[in-house]
Amino acid sequence: MSQTDGSAEVLAAAHAARRRRDWPRAYELYRAAREAGRLSAEDLNGLSDVSWWLGRVDEVIAAGEAAFRAYLEEDRGRDAAMTALGIAVSLFLRGDDAVGSGWLSRAQRLVAPFPDSIEHGYVRYIVEVEGGLDGSDLEAVAAAARELQQVGRRHGDMSLTAAGIVGEGRALLRLGDGERGMRLLDEAMVAVLHDDLDPEWAGNIYCHLMAACHEIGDIGRAGQWTEATSEWLAQLPSAAVFTGICRVHRSQVLQVAGAWDRAEREATQVCDDLADLHVASVAEAQYQLGDLRRLRGDLGAAEQSYAQARRLGRDPQPGLALLRLAQGRVDAAQAAIRAALHAASGNRLARARLAAARVEIAVAAGDLDAARRGCVELEDAAATYRTSGLEAAALHWRGATMLAERRADEALPALRAACRRWNEVGAPYDAACASTLLAAAYRALGDRDAQAAELATADATFTRLGVHADAPAMVEAAASRPPPGGLTEREAEVLGLVAGGSTNREVAAALVLSEKTVARHLSNIFAKLGVSTRTEAAAFAFEHGLARPGRG
């Protein structure tokens, strides 16, 4: 058999291995054929594709560039455009945005004469849908995604149709239409599992779904799809990039579920496997490691992980702000979360992820006005998206704020509901934290048996997770938080009654004091707060939860 015949036979075997997704074998055969002779544009494109699945990014780009030139020589502009698009995406994933942008521009120029083509549709998806999701005109993104669905259906391309569906779903989510948005994302994922989509576009859809679940705190849905797609991924052997992406999402789900050792192993593996392949996934894995180490009390290691996440382009908030709180740097924590909220101005989903941290930090700082504002934002997000995680967090932090306002009677039902919801979604750490607050509420109401029971529950969970947390001390801190403004406990009681409309005589009677003592307390209160009237003092009391408007 001649060398040409031998090369043809090897290439036929390479193409067959690629079709059955045996990428290691296909790569070996393409390389052998290239050594035996010159490869065609299709052959080079096949080599670039299997190299991508194996994580050989340099060869992806080299073979892709050769295929691009060969397609142009054959006057196959649309095929050249798709090759240019693939090179651009690989460069973007690696973090080489400038060169990737150049290749994307080449793809746009080549498809411009073919506005109703599939190739034009894929370029539009990358530019207008994925490129527009972080912008301000989300209505335009949703409209473009709907148009791409029609293009896909006209040409019988299920991958483009599904990509358009997922793009519309994500845009609707960010516009506040949680129900329709998630319904579309679920529809797209059904196509991934049951239709014959191109595997790279199936992976793109999966990534979007899991990112959306993470954004809106849909813990149950994230777990279900992670399990379902683990089986699907098993059909994609040696898929270096997708395996790593799945590990990131699996780590997030395991963290919520309390399997912290496994979560840390998955995140660490991502950092090792995708270091030069997918910068965004490595950045997210570093953030995951920061969170896990912070929760376990390894604050130095957490600091390093958050720094790595930032270096790779992942905003380390709210984890870094919570790390500052754990370090006792309350002012730094407040400044960090305020800056993060300003940066997310106009992005409801991003702000929802920050709201719980805002309340936690504000309560610790005694800034109850900020805590209340955070609760309102969190409750609004929970009402909009109706997901398990947001609803549990809204109850949890509203209860924490009420407890800080010395309203244990109102905090109690919110905290009991939060514990129940966290347990229902399988989030043991969050449930244990809610139990410590619930124990503090029971203590304030004098129910020592219930307090002890909640403490025992929280302590057992913290011990199992390896958390260096002292549940009794947490209860003590929540139940015995000192009054704001440097006031003593007695001064806080006096101020609360005065703010509620009581006269000095009525305050004296209520607290079994003389009117002269009440007057002395008021004088000290005015001096500490820097006010000169009862009205100004009352305003401070209302702001810091020492009294409630209308109480008198």
Q: Which two tokens stand for residue 142?
A: 């949703």
Report the alpha-carbon distance of residue 212 to residue 204 in Å, rounded. Answer: 13
Listing DSSP states for 512-525 in one string gives T--HHHHHHHHHHH
The CATH superfamily holding the domain 238-315 is Tetratricopeptide repeat domain (1.25.40.10)
Q: Indicate if 484-543 has the same CATH topology as 3-234.
A: no
CATH code linked to domain 484-543? 1.10.10.10
3-234, CATH topology level? 1.25.40
pLDDT < 50 stretches in the chain: 1-3, 550-552
- What are the residue boundaries of the structural domains of the chain, listed by start? 3-234, 238-315, 326-479, 484-543
- The set of residues, in sequence order, having a beta carbon less than 8 Å from that of 441 and lying 6+ positions away, is 399, 403, 408, 411, 412, 415
Percent of the chain beyond pLDDT 90?
54
Q: According to the model, what pLDDT value does residue 475 have?
A: 60
Q: Which two tokens stand for residue 177?
A: 């239409």
Q: Which 3-state string (H, E, C) describes 461-515?
A: HHHHHCCCCCHHHHHHHHHCCCCHHHCCHHHHHHHHHHHCCCCHHHHHHHHCCCH
Q: For the stretch 156-170, what's the b/e string if a residue is b when 16 or more beta carbons lie within 10 angstroms of its beta carbon?
A: ebbbbbbbbbbbbbb
Of 108, 230, 214, residue with least CA distance to 170: 214
- The set of residues, in sequence order, having a beta carbon less than 8 Å from that of 417 and lying 6+ positions away, is 395
Q: According to the model, what pLDDT value does residue 551 have?
A: 38
CATH code linked to domain 326-479? 1.25.40.10
| pLDDT tens figures, 209-240 | 888 888 888 888 887 887 777 677 666 666 66
Q: According to the model, what pLDDT value does residue 471 have?
A: 58
Q: According to the model, what pLDDT value does residue 2 have?
A: 38
545 three-state secondary structure = coil
Local structure of residue 298 (DSSP, 8 states):
-
pTM of the predicted protein model: 0.79
Report the alpha-carbon distance of residue 220 to residue 186 in Å, rounded. Answer: 13
Report the alpha-carbon distance of residue 229 to residue 235 in Å, rounded. Answer: 10
